Structure 1
Amino acid sequence: MRRLSDRLTPVLLDLDGAFEDQGVLVEEALAAGGDQVAARDLGPALRLWSRPPALDALRDRLSRAAPSGPSLVFTGSGDFHHVSPLLIERAIAASWSGPVTVLHFDNHPDWVRFENGLHCGSWVGRAARLPGVAKVVTVGVCSRDVERPTPKGAHLDLIEDGRLEIYPYRAPDGGPALKVGSVTRPTVESLGEAAFVDLLAARIETDAVYVTIDKDVLRTADAATNWDQGRTSLSFLEAMLTRVLDEHRLIGADIVGDWTRPRYGGGLTAAVLKQAEALLDQPWTAPADAVRQVNEGVNRRLLRLFVQMAA
């Protein structure tokens, strides 16, 4: 049964120019009562990873320029996924009425440790420990980041105490399940998509839910990002969202995963380190223009779905 959500305001957070070529998305977001927040001056210092001053500057910008109520925030590249804890904090503050489950769709677990700031691969640990968050449920991982998690600095304590559940689309070894520590979870592929939708709905035990989507969870036919792509189809993502949002109260959401040409900042040393890290972790070849254009269509479909389900 539908738990009525508050009105959801679309917000285009411009950190990297992702919406310059997405004019129809901008029009639809504004027509739905949305807002635009200019923050491209903060983007280079925030991109890939951020120190506290850059995060504080974004927090201040959001407090002054973004609507205070429940929002659907588009933030551009997945290099900015570590902005999500700030957005989750705002959503809880605006709509607090009990514990919240963070539903996280991603090709990567984003669960490692990162000192003195946040990394786009480290934010899940921060989100899971926010006041009011019951747990994070991560869906769709296909990357090998889940292999040998201990030397990579993963937050395995969150797995063990049930505050983080990971359901890969396909396990790195091709098996039917993923074992992390003492916990084993089935893969989407082993269960079948229809059965997994039922499982996912059962694992969200709170009335309230916050959704965060990195479009690199999608297969290459459905998105083009700055990272490697997963195996989830857009239609399957929509099926999972529809089921969850039909049964729970949505307090907010964010979407990352557009491809944008990176500009790194935060000081000369930080910019050099970020560029070196990107060369090691990200594809070297940019997607063709025609391939990148699919992102706007995906954003528009997700915009309509969220707005309709929250109505």
Structure 2
Amino acid sequence: MTCPIILNFDGSVGDICHAQTVDVTQWQDTIRFGCTKKQFSQFKQVLQQSLPESHGTVLMGSGDFHHISLLLIERLAKHYSADNPIQVVIFDNHPDNMRYLFGVHCGSWVSYVASLPFVSHVHVLGITSHDIGIAHFWENRWKPLLHKKLTYWSLDVNVAWAKKIGLGHAFRHFATPDDLIANFLSEQYHSAQPVYLSIDKDVLSEEVVHTNWDQGKLQTYHLLDTISSIKPRIIGSDITGELSIWQPSNWFKRLLSSLDKQPSISPNNLLNWQQEQHQLNLTLLKALTV
């Protein structure tokens, strides 16, 4: 059994038995939220030197680091190709496919994944964010949607406008989380393609766990049911969505972070909420490894 990896950017991931911890705290301020492509490439070299060839689920801390999933997926290029492709399945309350002109951002990385030759399709499950509503449609990157490489699976947001401009195939809307997961798993039932699974816990309801970002509607069992159904095909996975308090040293990052209106975290709640996160991580890791 391959051991989990903790990429320790922000000290938010608790101790996990048999996990290998990679100390990347010195990269937190550079990488967190977003970074230049040059900085991203430099960190890619750090990962190549730090990660073993084979490993289990990678835990990366706050969802502010979700763009690191791109680097983990890129590592699979040596095993897969356009003739032997994989799918990428992402649980996230946001599309992570937004325009970002200054490099790579935790909300922009999905379009890069969709452009990889060995990725046949990307599914983002559980979106309730108005990032995919008509008021923000111009902020999305359209190429993967138009080319049928990316599908948004959403709840509680009006996406009827997409059908009117010929993008109905890329915007799937459901009345309940149960309907969303049932439809996704039904469509996946006959697929044999390997899957990379990325989980941002902001897809979950605040009744389940608290994160750094506005949150979705899913329950823990939606994640567990999906893992159980596609587990024989999972060839890699990561988990983000931990809680940590951060003040960027860079004024531009402070500005962008304030524009995204991330909810503030009370220090009094932080430890209790991190403990909830830790228990959920153990549950997810058990489902992914047993």
**Could you say if the C-alpha distance between residues 75 and 126 of structure 1 is closer, same or farther in structure 2, counting changes exceeding 3 Å?**
same
Give the conservation status (yes or no) of the 8 Å contact 1:15–1:42.
yes
Q: Given the alignment of the two structures, is residue 228 of structure 1 paired with residue 214 of structure 2, yes or no?
A: yes
Q: Given the alignment of the two structures, is residue 192 of structure 1 paired with residue 179 of structure 2, yes or no?
A: yes
- In structure 2, distance between residues paired with 1:243 and 1:298: 19
Deviations 1:86-121 (A, max 9, x none): 000113435668101000110000111223420111
For this pair of structures, how many residues does the alignment match?
281
Question: Within 5 Å, which residues of 2 pair with 1:1-311?
Answer: 7-19=1-13, 22-23=14-15, 26=16, 28=17, 30=18, 34-93=19-78, 98-148=84-134, 149-152=136-139, 154-168=140-154, 170-173=155-158, 179=162, 181-184=165-168, 185-189=171-175, 192=179, 195-202=182-189, 205=191, 207-246=193-232, 248=233, 250-265=234-249, 271-286=250-265, 288-289=269-270, 290-308=272-290
- In structure 1, distance between residues paired with 2:179 and 2:161: 15
- In structure 1, distance between residues paired with 2:277 and 2:253: 25
Question: Normalization by structure 2: what TM-score?
Answer: 0.88
Q: 1:150 deviation in Å?
A: 3.7
SS in 2 for 1:71: coil
- In structure 2, distance between residues paired with 1:307 and 1:103: 17
Give the conservation status (yes or no) of the 8 Å contact 2:153–2:180.
no
- In structure 2, distance between residues paired with 1:243 and 1:112: 29
- In structure 2, distance between residues paired with 1:51 and 1:283: 21
RMSD: 2.3
Residue type at the aligned position of 1:78: G
Question: Normalization by structure 1: what TM-score?
Answer: 0.83
Q: 1:4 — aligned with what? A: none
- In structure 1, distance between residues paired with 2:151 and 2:69: 18
Q: Which runs of 5+ in 1 are unaligned?
A: 1-6, 266-270
**Could you say if the C-alpha distance between residues 178 and 83 of structure 1 is closer, same or farther in structure 2, counting changes exceeding 3 Å?**
farther
SS in 2 for 1:114: coil
Q: 1:14 deviation in Å?
A: 0.6
Residue type at the aligned position of 2:104: L
- In structure 1, distance between residues paired with 2:26 and 2:79: 26
Give the conservation status (yes or no) of the 8 Å contact 1:70–1:91.
no
Q: Which runs of 5+ in 2 are unaligned?
A: none
Deviations 1:21-64 (A, max 9, x none): x23xx2x2x1xxx3111101011110110112321232121111
Residue type at the aligned position of 1:179: A
Q: 1:210 deviation in Å?
A: 0.4
SS in 2 for 1:255: strand
Q: 1:71 deviation in Å?
A: 3.2
Asked which structure has the greater RCO (Cα within 8 Å, sep 6+), the reply is 1
Quote the sequence identity (%): 27
